[in-house]
Amino acid sequence: MSILTIILNILLPPLAVFLKHGLGGTFLINLLLTLLGWIPGMIHAFLVNGTR
């Protein structure tokens, strides 16, 4: 994972997921989690971007 991805995961989780995976289910889940709370969206972004 690059430094840019880590920074985006922290500051703008949906953007980080979009740049790595595009529009799709993963992005929509992350967007929903970020709207419900920033921390769940950030955790999801690290999990998704770190495992693939």
- Domains of the chain, residue spans: 3-51
d(CA 32, CA 6): 20
pTM of the model: 0.87
If you average pLDDT over residues 46-52, what whole number do you get?
86
The pLDDT > 90 percentage for the chain reads: 88
Q: What is the pLDDT of residues 9-22, one digit of tens each?
A: 999 999 999 999 99
Residue bearing tokens 């709370």: 37
Task: Give pLDDT, residue 48.
Answer: 94
pLDDT of 32 over the 70 cut: yes
